């Protein structure tokens, strides 16, 4: 093929003969493996891996990376195995090909599960070797360039996946040119009509505004010449997708988007960046609040530049980027600059590499704390859209966080233990709640307490994948411990029914049962009992079964009542539908995966569910119940000024705590129906509150509200 000859000639500019020979062998191997296979466009399949390798060669990726690119589909689409690749091309090449290959050999319950597990595999391979994601991104770029051959449904699916996952990854790795092209190609296939209309409008505007732009560039060059600053000044056009995004976010028409053109200024060194900025601000007035200094504080992907927006000629805004030549290389090639400019001492390359390594290591940490692929992907997605803010630690260190990050995100960013034990934040020397959203420039100090622990409500407002995965991991561990404690109590009661002491169960019997159930340990079996996945008397029967009797032994009697002390934690929940409190007649219902839910014995909701008797557990209140419980009171009152204050005072006098109030006033009626959510200790406490409410003037009726 003439294409491979041209390709290897290009490689000779930066690779030695042994490296070129490795790439040629990989091409011949791939060509042979894919022989007889064709793409949807009708071209021989080998044209695709060759195109992927050609894209990578523009970043000067090493020979192993190029070989892996040429072989990236052989494990997925042919009979070639990882072992064969390792024997022929070495372990690093085989590992990269395996990292890019999908998990087609595993059966998944849904497309979403398959997609999530494939991303998980790819991202973890990327964390070990960043070349994996560079191959995958080049693969996706070529697929997007040739997407017209696919069916409309597949085009939209692949374009959506690219816009949601691959383009943000390219951005996170600093591959700006690739990021913008993936966005434009995704937009083209997701919204073909809008793409055509906008492309035509930008093309027309290009002609109309060219003269204005040329005069502007000349004026800026003249200003730099007079100031003695050596600067390269060029115009840059916004991408179609970025114009569309601005129109959608700002609700602009195309005619209102004046800044489809911008200016890029390249200077020799960082000091000249600020001098060049001063000249620009002397020529044209800057728009307040539109200046960003990414030179002093680089983005997480290593990007450095000064951004300013000016009032240009005719009052139109003009966006300007000022950076050094080395900063520009990093801005365009990102992590690939490691290969592209590794023979040069480019400023910023080492820092960009370090930032990428930190992010990749963070992926490994998130993976270790995510139980399934969907959760891992959700946590990673949150970190792929980093519109960043910059805050200061008490020691003056700068920390980058995504926009919308809170004090809890900051705490986990500093250290996991600080996140686990944080109780409040001092932001700009003012004491504020942990859910406070941070802004750029904030000075943040976290206050901790040894007894504090993560709150499930934090998951509703944290913005970083690291914080979310740490909180979930902690809560799952806590829930397992509490569920196991409940499971042990239930099992002991079941064993008592069988007249067996818990100490009589040997460790060997527990190990045999764990193996039989496919559980990792005794703790897992007890936790399963606690959350209702296994019934205590069935496990008790299995533990006491005489070896060799099999499963046809007589069923065990149902265990006696479980005593509730009110401090069981997350393993036991009190039903919201009937609000049981100490003193009520109650029954327990096991909901699979959720543990034991306690209802009133006459709960209407439970009766409607037609629950199987095997799922019900006899429960009773202990004599020394601790804590407070949610109850409800419905009050019918005559409307008058100051009534709500009197009712609240009556509840407070009886030591009740109000946690919810709602009211309803029928049209034309002089009465109001009010509902109070109240925290009480037991039935006697609730009765005292009801008596106090009945004494308030204008109260017509008071009754307990169970729903």
Catalytic residue, chosen from 19, 24, 31, 76, is 76
Is the distance from CB of 317 to CB of 285 less than 8 angstroms? no
pLDDT score at 351 = 56
More confident residue, 377 or 51: 51
Choice between 573 and 111, residue whose per-residue pLDDT is larger: 573
- Threshold 0.75, pTM exceeds: no
Q: Which of 479-493, 574-588, 673-687 has the lowest mean pLDDT?
A: 479-493
Which band of pLDDT confidence, cut at 50, 70 and 90, is reported for residue 667? low
pLDDT value, residue 671:
86
Q: 24, 31, 77, 332: which is the annotated catalytic residue?
A: 77
Domain 2-190 has CATH 2.60.40.10: no
Lowest mean pLDDT among 127-136, 374-383, 454-463, 560-569: 374-383
* % of the chain at pLDDT higher than 70: 81
Q: Which residues of 466-490 are buried (b: 16+ CB within 10 A; e: fewer)?
A: bbbbbbbbbbeebbbbbbbebbbbb
**What are the residue ranges of CATH 1.10.3210.10 in the chain?**
2-190
- The pLDDT value recorded for residue 537 is 66
Query: Which residue intervals of 498-555 are DSSP H helices?
Result: 507-517, 522-530, 536-544
Least confident range of 369-383, 471-485, 509-523: 369-383
CATH topology of domain 629-704: Alpha-Beta Plaits (3.30.70)
The confidence score (pLDDT) of residue 249 equals: 78
Residue 556 confidence (pLDDT): 42
List, by residue range, all CATH 3.30.70.260 domains of the chain: 629-704
- Contact of 76 with 104, CB cutoff 8 Å: yes
What is the average per-residue pLDDT within 454-474?
A: 83
Q: Kindly tell me if the per-residue pLDDT of 3 is higher than 80.
A: no
Location of structure tokens 């002397």: 282
If pLDDT is split at 50, 70 and 90, which confidence band does 575 have?
A: confident
Model confidence at 183, pLDDT cuts 50, 70, 90, reads very high
Checking if the pLDDT of 269 tops 80, the result is yes
Residue 158 or residue 122, greater confidence: 158
Report the SS3 class of residue 402.
strand
Considering the domain delimited by 195-347, tell me its CATH architecture. 2-Layer Sandwich (3.30)
User: Model confidence at 551, in pLDDT bands (50, 70, 90)?
Assistant: very low
**Position with higher pLDDT, 701 vs 536:** 701
Residue range 574-602: average pLDDT?
A: 83
CA dihedral of residues 630, 635, 641, 642 (deg, nearest 10) = -40
If we measure between CA atoms, which residue out of 289, 293, 258, 288 comes closest to residue 277? 293
Q: What is the pLDDT of residue 651?
A: 93
The stretch 127-144 carries a mean pLDDT of 86
Query: Which of these ranges, 261-270, 419-428, 455-464, 661-670, has the smallest mean pLDDT?
Result: 661-670
State the span(s) of the chain assigned CATH 3.30.460.10. 195-347
Helix (H), strand (E), coil (C) string for 458-489: HHHCCCCHHHHHHHHHHHHHHHHHHHHHHHHH
Indicate the pLDDT class of residue 446, thresholds 50, 70 and 90.
Answer: very high
pLDDT at 321: 93
Percent of the chain residues topping a pLDDT of 90: 26
**Is residue 76 flagged as an active site residue?**
yes
Q: Rounded distance, CA 647 to CA 695, Å?
A: 10
Residue 44 scores a pLDDT above 80: yes
């Amino acid at each position: 093929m003439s294409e491979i000859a041209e390709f290897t000639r290009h490689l000779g500019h930066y690779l030695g003969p042994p490296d070129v020979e490795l790439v040629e062998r990989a091409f011949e191997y791939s060509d042979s493996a894919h022989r007889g296979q064709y793409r949807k466009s009708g071209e021989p399949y080998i044209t695709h891996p060759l195109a992927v390798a050609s894209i990578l060669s523009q970043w000067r990726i090493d020979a192993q990376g190029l070989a892996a690119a040429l072989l990236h589909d052989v494990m997925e689409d042919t009979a070639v195995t990882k072992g064969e690749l390792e024997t022929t091309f070495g372990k690093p090449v085989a590992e990269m090909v395996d990292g890019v290959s999908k998990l087609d050999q595993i059966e998944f319950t849904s497309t979403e599960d398959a997609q999530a597990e494939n991303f998980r595999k790819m991202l973890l391979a990327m964390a070990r070797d960043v070349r994996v994601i560079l191959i995958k991104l080049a693969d996706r770029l070529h697929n997007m360039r040739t997407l017209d051959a696919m069916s409309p449904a597949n085009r939209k699916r692949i374009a959506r996946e690219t816009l949601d996952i691959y383009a943000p990854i390219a951005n996170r790795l600093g591959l700006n040119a690739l990021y913008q092209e993936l966005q434009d190609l995704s937009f083209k296939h997701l919204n073909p009509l809008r793409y055509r209309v906008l492309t035509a409008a930008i093309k027309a505007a290009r002609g109309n505004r060219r003269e204005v732009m040329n005069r502007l560039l000349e004026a800026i060059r003249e200003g730099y010449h007079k100031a003695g600053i050596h600067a390269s000044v060029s115009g840059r056009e916004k991408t179609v997708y970025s114009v569309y995004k601005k129109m959608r976010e700002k609700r602009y028409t195309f005619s209102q988007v004046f800044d489809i053109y911008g200016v890029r200024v390249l200077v020799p060194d960082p000091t000249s960046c600020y001098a060049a900025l001063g000249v620009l601000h002397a020529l044209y007035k800057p728009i307040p609040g539109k200046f960003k200094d990414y030179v002093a504080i680089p983005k997480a992907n290593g990007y450095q530049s000064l951004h300013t927006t000016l009032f240009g000629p005719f009052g139109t805004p003009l966006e300007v980027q000022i950076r050094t030549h080395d900063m520009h290389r990093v801005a365009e090639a990102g992590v690939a600059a490691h290969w592209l400019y590794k023979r040069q001492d480019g400023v910023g390359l080492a820092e960009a590499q370090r930032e990428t390594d930190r992010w990749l290591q963070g992926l490994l940490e998130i993976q270790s704390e995510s139980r399934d692929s969907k959760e891992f992907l959700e946590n990673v997605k949150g970190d792929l859209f980093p519109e960043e803010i910059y805050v200061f630690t008490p020691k003056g260190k700068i920390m980058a966080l995504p926009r919308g990050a809170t004090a809890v995100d900051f705490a986990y960013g500093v250290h996991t233990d600080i996140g686990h034990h944080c109780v409040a934040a001092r932001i700009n020397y003012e004491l504020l709640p942990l859910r406070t959203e941070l802004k750029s420039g904030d000075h943040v100090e976290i206050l901790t307490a040894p007894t504090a622990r993560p709150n499930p409500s934090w998951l509703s407002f944290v913005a970083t994948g690291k914080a979310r995965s740490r909180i979930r991991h902690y809560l799952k561990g806590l829930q397992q411990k509490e569920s196991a404690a409940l499971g042990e109590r239930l099992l002991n009661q079941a064993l008592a029914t069988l007249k067996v002491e818990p100490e009589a169960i040997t460790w060997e019997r527990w190990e045999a049962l764990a193996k039989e159930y496919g559980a990792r340990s005794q703790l897992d079996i007890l936790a399963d009992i606690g959350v209702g996945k296994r019934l205590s008397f069935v496990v008790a029967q299995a533990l006491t079964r005489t070896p060799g009797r099999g499963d046809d032994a007589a069923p065990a009697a149902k265990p006696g009542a479980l005593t509730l002390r009110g401090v069981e934690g997350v393993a036991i929940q009190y039903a919201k539908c009937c609000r049981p409190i100490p003193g009520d007649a109650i029954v327990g219902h096991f909901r699979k995966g959720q543990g034991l839910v306690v209802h009133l014995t006459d709960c209407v909701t439970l009766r409607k569910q037609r629950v199987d008797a095997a799922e019900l557990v006899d429960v009773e209140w202990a004599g020394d119940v601790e804590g407070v419980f949610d109850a409800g009171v419905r009050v019918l009152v005559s409307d008058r000024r100051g009534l709500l204050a009197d009712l609240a005072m009556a509840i407070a006098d009886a030591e009740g705590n109000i946690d919810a109030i709602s009211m309803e006033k029928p049209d034309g009626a002089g009465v109001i129906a009010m509902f109070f959510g109240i925290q009480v200790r037991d039935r006697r406490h609730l009765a005292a509150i009801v008596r106090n409410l009945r004494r308030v003037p204008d109260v017509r009726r008071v009754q307990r509200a169970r729903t």
